[in-house]
Amino acid sequence: MTAMAKKFLPVLFALVLAFPLALVPCAVSASPGTIYVPGDYPDIQSAIDAASPGDTILVAAGTYTENVEVNEQLTLTGDVNQPSNVVVDAGGTRSAITLAVDGCVLQGFKAQNGRYGIKLEGSNGNTLTNNIATSNTGAGINLEGSNNNTLTGNHITGNTIGVKIQESDASTTSINFNNIYGNTSYGVDNASGTSVDAENNWWGANDGPSPSPGSGDKVSANVDYDPWIVLGVSSSPASIVADGSSTSTITSDMTINSDGADTSGLGHIPDGTQIIFTTDKGSIGSLQVTKETINGKTTATLTSSTIEETATVTAKAPPYTTVAQDSTTVDFTFGGSLDHFTFDTISSPQTAAVTFSITITAKDQYENTVTSYTGTNTLSDTTTTINPNSTGSFTNGVWTGNVTITKAQTGVTITTTGAGKSGTSNSFDVTAGSLDHIIISPGTASIAAGYSQTYTAEAFDQYDSSLGDVTNDTTFEIVAGAGGSWAANVYTPEEIGTWTVTGTYSGKSGTATLTVIEGVLPPTVSIDSPKDRYSTTDSTVTVEGTVVAIPALSEAPLTVNGKSRTITVSDGAFSKKVTLVKGDNTITVSASNLAGTDSDSITVTVHVPISSGV
């Protein structure tokens, strides 16, 4: 180190200590802001000049006569729902709006009266949506030396050229779901050497752009326009009553393309596209009405006349020529041919044996009443107890009458049939009627002295529809001389013999027979089916047989291939479905008397071939 260097080192060190921040770069960050026109600045250009990259400029409704030049990466938003409210008028010179920077969003503007409505000059990666470009002498939208741009949902009409592409890689740009029509020279003119994606646009004609295949706006070479959006119109229903008040919904649909594909999941033409509906019969508010699309669709309501006739309803999209329209028809009728019957809703529940009213209407395929139908129909229901089982004659296509159903059941439906057509009512419940009698169970029983017998009581109406178990509210007794004792519904006998048991509930009585024997008899078990060595290819078999014992048994053990379960014995009989395996299956039923002093069992073998599908 030289002597002079050593001389200046202390001075340099002192400067560093005194001004440390002067030697360190200062990083300043700013969040994107929002600028309002005319709230913050009177015109759009002034707002742009004051903006920083990433800012959003919101422009209120009005006409702005200026040549807007965007040289910062910004979002410019007018009125995306009604872009005609925010007009940028070029005053007959240059461009209404020029983008000369990358990554901008331009939406909700009407750009007019310039050489170009919207010009992209060396500007990449921009999104232009929900704009109107009209009345420009060069092009509505001009892309010059600009790539990777998206044009969607724009209304481009009344220009010399709709969209012009030059000195650009057109293959990186997409032009979809725009209205491009009424441009005098070209709808899209691609002067680059690569093809541009211009599918699913409305070209002002259902047969597509010109010169081939259609008659809409002309396209140049290197424009991929196929498929394109088409206008369709439909009616629902297609037939209504000619009563001056019945209606059909007419739907204009521009979500289907020329390949017949539904494009609604990809995008849609600009909202607010005006569709003109006209009708030659009836009324859609008048003979003509204009509606605006939302998500590519809009509807009108057609009201019938009072004359039996057919209305033709036409929907036209811009530019409202014969190639930009579609039609549908709606029949006004006094009732077509019989197709089916309908029931007015039957309330639930109904009561067994209590009369209720039903109304049946003859209908055509469009749900219009067939007023000419005067026949008589059969009636049936899912309980098989409806009365009467036929209607009277229909009047003006309608029959109303009273019926009864005498059996209680849930989920009941009534079916009517006439002239080869039928109809079924809604489902409803029928509850039991008033108490008529009770039944004591078991009706016949036999027990040994010293054992007990349990009884139950169930109430019924006059048509044997159950009113439910009434055991807890039933008084039980046995004839004098039988002795024994009752504990609620459980009887313990004393005297040997056959006796009558009586149960009484709400003034209604039922009886049962009880035989009391001396001692306990050993049980006897038999299997009636399947027989021993029975062979089957089925995977299951039902085991049926008897268990005779005194006192009677209510259950017995069942063993299948070593696995035990309990089966129910009712009135000495049992039936149980069991699952089989391939080979020999051993089935055993056994029983012991209540005293446990005697038992009996029987075993059968069921064979399932190894080759079976079990």
Work out whether the CA dihedral 559, 565, 570, 574 comes out positive or negative: negative
- Residue 150 Cα distances to 103, 147, 174, 264, angstroms: 11, 9, 5, 18
pLDDT for 4: 34
Phi/psi for 49 (5° steps) reads -60, -30
Averaged pLDDT for residues 216-231: 98
At residue 5, the 3 state secondary structure works out as: helix
pLDDT for 595: 63
pLDDT for 30: 47
Summarised one tens digit per residue, pLDDT across range 555-595 is 999 999 999 999 999 999 999 999 999 999 999 999 987 76
Six-digit token string for 340: 């089916």
Averaged pLDDT for residues 129-138: 98
- Residue 545 Cα distances to 86, 301, 448, angstroms: 92, 72, 23
Q: Is the pLDDT of residue 408 over 90?
A: yes
Averaged pLDDT for residues 464-492: 94
How far apart are the C-alpha atoms of 481 and 300, rounded to whole Å?
A: 89
Under the banding of pLDDT at 50, 70 and 90, the label for residue 369 is: confident
pLDDT for 614: 64
pLDDT for 605: 96
Burial 176-196 (b: 16+ CB within 10 A, else e): bbbbbbbbeebbbbbebeeeb
Summarised one tens digit per residue, pLDDT across range 161-172 is 999 999 999 999
pLDDT for 375: 96
Report the share of the chain in percent with pLDDT over 90: 82
- Residue 142 Cα distances to 74, 83, 119, 156, 587, angstroms: 19, 19, 5, 12, 91
pLDDT for 26: 28
Q: Is the pLDDT of residue 5 over 60?
A: no
- Count of beta carbons in the 10 Å neighbourhood of residue 501: 22
Q: Where are the alpha helices (DSSP H) in 19-168?
A: 44-50
Averaged pLDDT for residues 196-220: 96
Contact 118, 93 (CB under 8 A): no
Q: Is the pLDDT of residue 21 over 60?
A: no
Q: Is the pLDDT of residue 135 over 60?
A: yes
Averaged pLDDT for residues 368-381: 93
pLDDT for 438: 96
pLDDT for 18: 36
How far apart are the C-alpha atoms of 70 and 84, rounded to whole Å?
A: 21
Strand 428-431, strand 409-412: pairing:
antiparallel
Strand 340-343, strand 309-316: pairing:
unpaired
Average of per-residue pLDDT values in the chain = 91
Q: Is the peptide bond before 557 cis (omega within 30 degrees of 0)?
A: no
pLDDT for 613: 66
Summarised one tens digit per residue, pLDDT across range 276-327 is 999 999 999 888 999 999 999 999 999 999 888 999 999 999 999 999 999 9
